[in-house]
Amino acid sequence: MAHSIHEETETTAATPLLRRNWRWFQVPSTIKLKTSLSSELSGAVGDLGTYIPIVLALSLVNSLDLTTTLVFTALYNIATGLLFGLPMPVQPMKSIAAVAISESPPLSIPQISAAGLSVAAVLLFLGATGLMSFLYRYLPLPVVRGVQLSQGLSFAMSAIKYIRYQQDLATQTSGAARSWLALDGLLIALAATLFLILTTGAGVDDHRAAENTQREESDETDSLNKTSESRIHRRIRFLSNIPSALLVFLFGLVICFISDPSIFGDLKFGPSKIALIKITWDDLKIGFFRAAIPQIPLSVLNSVIAVCKLSGDLFPGKGEASVMKVSVSVGLMNFVGCWFGAMPCCHGAGGLAGQYRFGGRSGASVVFLGLAKLILALVFGNSFGRILGQFPIGILGVLLLFAGIELAMASRDMNSKEESFVMFVCAAVSLTGNSAALGFIVGIVLYLLLKFRELDCGACFGFSTSTTRKVKDEEASLIGN
């Protein structure tokens, strides 16, 4: 008996020590799983529909070092996942990439890096001084929604082109229509689309919706209906737990090796050397005026303001991401990576929508993606470009399509015809002018005109409605007398 009491005392005394030591191994709250592991892994690949084509095009046309870009974007992913606790994406600066590829001759890596550093300086200044928070606080919501709608529809239209036509990523042009039965044909893309629709539905949180439906059932409901609802709920929950986007992406990798088995022989182990690049004054001028100027408004609107607004829409319980943190985050990322020739990056609303669409609910999603990029960079280095070069563009188009639609659907909360009018005009101008900045300016002007139309001009000049009515009453009394 004394022996058992001694053992119990010893165990009790040891337990606090074990608990105290275990605290060192606790997972940070920002990357604790909010759903299943499979869902977070699936969400991790949700933004690759934009990432892979741009990285591949820059590596082909501008000699972007793939090892450097993979390593730094991996570190960005891990850092943002730990910082924000959201599937905050790391995506290429699209306007800089488009200019770098389309210019004749194409921009050099120092010029691309100079453009990235210029944008980083602007965003870091706006974030650190609080000017970005001021812009975010006073920008009209319909204008922000118009920018989101235009970006989402732009992604969706690009995705349809990826699916329907052959793509030359080096020249950013579409070629002949895809055949139905090729390994990168329409049939494969259609099958992937149907699979994603069956497993993810319209993108709603099926777990929560099913649970709410069950709670609202009354006790008087027929037992047969209860059984039917329970069966449907189990089926939807099973389908939602399938890492659909991850399976589609892995299927695309299998197609890479089937379409070109010589990839196995071309793969080389080990990363390339990462080194500082030299940026001259001429590189800075060319990078700033040709690439940074068109990128700055896009980064302010889509990479900071739209991202923060979308984070509040998708995660209402957590609240919107800090505008200051997001702006400073983009600035610091590029101030580190661009000096080594890494691709200029930002946080994009489309990437956040895509990762959420396929199951990402916490920072763990992008941390997993970052770890995968880091492993691939260290193991295969620049030779991993051979795999990306054979990846089915049609499957990337399918992933991009769902991400674009998810982003566009964020604009469905307009409460009046006036707000919808501003949003649609802003989106239309952004799409047709191929400029989010132009759409933003038109949206702001239109919003102010509509507000001016409703102003009480008498009040503006010092005559209130009550004063005018009082004068009329006095005149009527005099006439009566």
Kindly calculate the radius of gyration of the chain based on its CA atoms and give it in whole angstroms. Answer: 27
- How far is it, in rounded angstroms, from Cα 341 to Cα 140? 37
The model's confidence at residue 35, banded by pLDDT at 50, 70 and 90, is: confident
The model's confidence at residue 439, banded by pLDDT at 50, 70 and 90, is: very high
Query: Contact 263/256 with Cβ under 8 angstroms?
Result: yes
- How far is it, in rounded angstroms, from Cα 124 to Cα 327? 6
Angle between helices 37-44 and 364-380 (to 10 degrees): 60
The model's confidence at residue 103, banded by pLDDT at 50, 70 and 90, is: confident
Where does residue 419 rank: exposed (0-12), middle (13-18), buried (19+ CB within 10 A)? buried
Q: Tell me the mean pLDDT in the region 148-163.
A: 93
The pLDDT of residue 350 is above 80: yes
Token digits of residue 304? 């900071």
Q: What is the DSSP letter of 57?
A: H
Query: Contact 354/126 with Cβ under 8 angstroms?
Result: no
The model's confidence at residue 433, banded by pLDDT at 50, 70 and 90, is: confident
Please report, rounded to a whole number, the percentage of residues in the chain having pLDDT higher than 70: 85
Identity at 160, one-letter amino acid code: I
pLDDT at position 466 = 53
Instruction: Give the pLDDT confidence of 298-334 residue by residue, as tens digits.
Output: 899 999 999 999 999 999 888 889 999 999 999 999 9
The pLDDT of residue 476 is above 80: no
Query: φ and ψ at 173, to 5 degrees?
Result: -125, 155
Q: Considering only CA atoms, which of 219, 220, 163, 204 is closest in space to residue 398?
A: 163
pLDDT at position 235 = 83
Q: What is the DSSP letter of 62?
A: S
Query: Contact 113/94 with Cβ under 8 angstroms?
Result: no
pLDDT at position 187 = 96
Q: Tell me the mean pLDDT in the region 401-427.
A: 92
Instruction: Give the pLDDT confidence of 257-281 residue by residue, as tens digits.
Output: 999 999 988 889 999 999 999 999 9
Q: Tell me the mean pLDDT in the region 394-400.
A: 94
pLDDT at position 222 = 55
Q: Sign of torsion, CA 296 299 304 305? A: positive
By three-state DSSP, how is residue 100 classified? helix
Query: Contact 295/408 with Cβ under 8 angstroms?
Result: no
Token digits of residue 361? 């609910």
The pLDDT of residue 213 is above 60: no
- How far is it, in rounded angstroms, from Cα 147 to Cα 308? 13
Angle between helices 323-337 and 66-84 (to 10 degrees): 160
The pLDDT of residue 55 is above 70: yes
Instruction: Give the pLDDT confidence of 215-258 residue by residue, as tens digits.
Output: 444 444 455 566 777 788 888 888 888 899 999 999 999 999 99
- How far is it, in rounded angstroms, from Cα 12 to Cα 450? 71
Average pLDDT, the chain: 86
| Three-point CA angle 35, 76, 28, nearest 5° | 45
pLDDT at position 168 = 84
pLDDT at position 214 = 43
What ranges do the domains of the chain cover? 37-204+234-418
- How far is it, in rounded angstroms, from Cα 290 to Cα 282? 12
pLDDT at position 14 = 46
